[in-house]
Amino acid sequence: MRVVVQRVLGAQVEVESEVVGRIERGLLVYVSVGNNDTCNDAKFIAEKVGGLRVFGDDEGKMNLSVKDVGGKVLAVSNFTLHGDCRKGRRPGFDAAAEPKTAEGLYDEVCKLIAKQGIAVEKGVFGAHMKVESINDGPVTFMLDSSKLF
Active site residue 80: yes
Instruction: From the candidates 38, 80, 101, 140, give the one annotated as an active-site residue.
Output: 80
3-state helix, strand and coil shares in percent for the chain, rounded to the nearest 5? 20, 40, 40
Q: Where are the alpha helices (DSSP H) in the chain?
A: 39-51, 99-114
Q: Which residues pair with 12 in a beta bridge?
A: 22, 132
Distances (CA, A) of 113 to 72, 83, 94, 97, 125: 10, 25, 27, 21, 17
Contact 20, 123 (CB under 8 A): yes
The set of catalytic residues is 80
